[in-house]
């Protein structure tokens, strides 16, 4: 046995030192090396003691461990502090990068990625923190989010703050569910805080799967079916089953009151308009303000509403009576047995001295001109109520002439 300290020659090669052997060395118990131990070949440690802490295992070192090449760990590797990987290899596939894992990675705290993170499979975020603004929630991003396929949102989707942003869809936005239950609706709400009196909404009401009675509803102020539109194009106001193209349940009011109001029109594509019993007060968009009501047909005639008042020239009135011919006629589009009509020809009235005052014109596509005084695509109409004034003046002149003749005869 060598005494402690008896051999003090240091090791500089495999043939120098206090102990040199050309064969192996077997150590039955502990081996203590007071300085560095250099192993030229492989070092095999057959002890199978697993490690449960930094002080247990087949190899225990109080300092660091330097590995010049690959390090293979057959089971778990527990690192009590930071793990620094100085390799700068970028990751382009699942088999490239400074850290390659054949299985998953569990991070007990924050995971920071300084550049792009490419995930080939699913990403599951189990944190259930709800979002109250753009800086809170389970997933927060300072930039945009690109979604290549369907995005399913299990709760509310809030976009923007003030002013709110919009949903921009290059093709379409679908609001639906997989249920085909009868008498159900899916809605889009618009409003302020979605309070009952501060919101409107569009809804699809499913009467039954595949039914032609399924409808689009426009709701206001808590009433879900204020306006209903059927697939046939029929519109119901105040009812959900319109029987005609426009079906209004309740009162209808048409009014043009202001002098600068935009004129509108109530027209019929047929020859008649049928109305049930009603009380009507219609204001026509003309300067004189003609009305039809309980007192009959009347017009605003107050002097204070008029200017540049002049008398109709007697000669002009007589000329109109003598040169304008009343006619009887049949309407060109009369159905069934022709019914004789009586009136004037608008083209002739237009050519008279009073033409601009007693005729009007409206655009009428495909109305062809068939005579020189016709206007292509223009419908001429006569304003009969104004002709009365001309006839009145002509009658005045005739009565004055008769009165003068009676005085001459009386003398």
Residue 147 located in a structural domain: no
Domain boundary among 248, 266, 293: 248
Residue 316 located in a structural domain: yes
Q: Is 289 left (phi over 0), alpha (psi -120 to 50) or beta?
A: left
Say yes or no: 330 and 386 in one domain: yes
Residue 200 located in a structural domain: yes
Instruction: Give the H or E element holding residue 402.
Output: helix 384-410
Tell me the pLDDT band of 9, cut-offs 50, 70 and 90.
low
- Arithmetic mean of pLDDT over the chain: 77
Domain that holds residue 218: 184-248
- What does the alpha-carbon distance between residue 365 and residue 146 come to, in Å, rounded to a whole number? 51
Say yes or no: 244 and 277 in one domain: no
| 280-318: pLDDT as tens digits | 555 444 455 566 666 666 677 778 888 899 999 999 999
Find the mean pLDDT for residues 73-81.
Answer: 78
Find the mean pLDDT for residues 312-338.
Answer: 84
- What does the alpha-carbon distance between residue 126 and residue 163 come to, in Å, rounded to a whole number? 32
Say yes or no: 393 and 316 in one domain: yes
Token pair recorded at residue 407:
């005085």
Cβ(237)–Cβ(249) below 8 Å? yes
Say yes or no: 238 and 317 in one domain: no
- What does the alpha-carbon distance between residue 225 and residue 93 come to, in Å, rounded to a whole number? 56
Say yes or no: 381 and 325 in one domain: yes
Longest CA pairwise span in the chain (Å): 183
| 143-198: pLDDT as tens digits | 888 888 887 777 777 776 655 556 666 666 677 767 788 888 887 777 766 566 67
In percent, how much of the chain has pLDDT > 70?
Answer: 78
- Nearest CA among 353, 373, 377 for reference residue 365: 377
Residue 199 located in a structural domain: yes
Domain boundary among 213, 232, 248: 248
Number of domains observed in the structure of the chain: 3
In percent, how much of the chain has pLDDT > 90?
Answer: 14
Residue 344 located in a structural domain: yes
Domain boundary among 301, 336, 364: 301
- Nearest CA among 190, 349, 381, 404 for reference residue 284: 381
Say yes or no: 387 and 320 in one domain: yes
Say yes or no: 373 and 315 in one domain: yes
- What does the alpha-carbon distance between residue 152 and residue 319 come to, in Å, rounded to a whole number? 82
Say yes or no: 257 and 243 in one domain: no
Say yes or no: 324 and 387 in one domain: yes
Say yes or no: 229 and 295 in one domain: no
Tell me the pLDDT band of 83, cut-offs 50, 70 and 90.
confident
Say yes or no: 293 and 330 in one domain: no
The contacts of residue 38 (CB under 8 Å, 6+ apart) are 11
Residue 129 located in a structural domain: no
At residue 319's C-alpha, the angle toward residues 316 and 320, to 5°, is 90
| 54-74: pLDDT as tens digits | 788 788 888 788 887 877 877
Residue 354 located in a structural domain: yes
Q: At what angle do helices 314-323 and 384-410 cross, to 10 degrees?
A: 110
- Nearest CA among 121, 136, 128 for reference residue 154: 128
Say yes or no: 286 and 332 in one domain: no
């Amino acid at each position: 046995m060598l005494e402690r300290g008896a051999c003090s020659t240091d090791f500089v090669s495999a043939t120098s030192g206090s102990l040199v052997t050309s064969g192996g060395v077997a150590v039955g118990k502990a081996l203590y090396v007071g300085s560095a131990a250099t192993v030229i070949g492989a070092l095999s440690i057959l002890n199978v003691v697993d490690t449960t802490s930094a002080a247990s295992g087949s190899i225990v070192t109080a300092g660091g461990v330097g590995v010049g090449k690959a390090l293979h760990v057959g089971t778990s590797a527990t690192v009590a502090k930071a793990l620094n990987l100085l390799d700068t290899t970028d990751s382009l596939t699942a088999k490239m990068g400074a850290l390659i894992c054949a299985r998953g990675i569990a991070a007990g705290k924050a995971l920071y990625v300084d550049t792009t993170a490419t995930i080939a499979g699913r990403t599951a975020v189990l944190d259930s923190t709800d979002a109250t603004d753009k800086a809170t929630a389970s997933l927060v991003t300072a930039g945009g989010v690109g979604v290549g396929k369907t995005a399913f949102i299990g709760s509310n989707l809030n976009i923007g703050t003030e002013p709110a942003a919009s949903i921009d869809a290059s093709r379409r936005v679908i609001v639906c569910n997989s249920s085909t239950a009868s008498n159900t609706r899916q809605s889009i709400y618009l409003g302020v805080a979605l309070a009952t009196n501060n919101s409107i909404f569009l809804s699809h009401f499913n009467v039954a799967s595949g039914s032609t009675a399924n409808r689009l509803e426009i709701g206001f102020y808590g009433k879900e079916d204020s306006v209903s539109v059927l697939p046939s194009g029929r519109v119901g106001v105040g009812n959900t089953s319109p029987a005609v193209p426009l079906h209004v349940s309740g009162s209808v009011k048409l009014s043009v009151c202001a002098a600068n109001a935009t004129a509108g029109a109530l027209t019929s594509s047929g020859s008649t308009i049928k109305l049930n019993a009603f009380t009507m007060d219609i204001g026509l968009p003309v300067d004189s303000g003609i009305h039809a009501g309980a007192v009959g047909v009347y017009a605003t005639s107050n002097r204070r509403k008029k200017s540049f008042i002049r008398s109709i020239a007697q000669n002009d009135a007589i000329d109109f009576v003598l040169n304008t011919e009343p006619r009887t006629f049949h309407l060109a589009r009369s159905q069934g047995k022709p019914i004789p009509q009586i009136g004037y020809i608008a083209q002739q009235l237009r050519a008279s001295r009073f033409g601009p005052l007693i005729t009007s014109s409206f655009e009428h596509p495909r109305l062809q001109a068939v005579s020189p005084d016709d206007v292509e695509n223009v419908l001429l109409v006569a304003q009969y109520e104004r002709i009365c004034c001309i006839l009145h003046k002509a009658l005045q002149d005739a009565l004055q002439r008769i009165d003068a003749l009676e005085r001459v005869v009386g003398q």
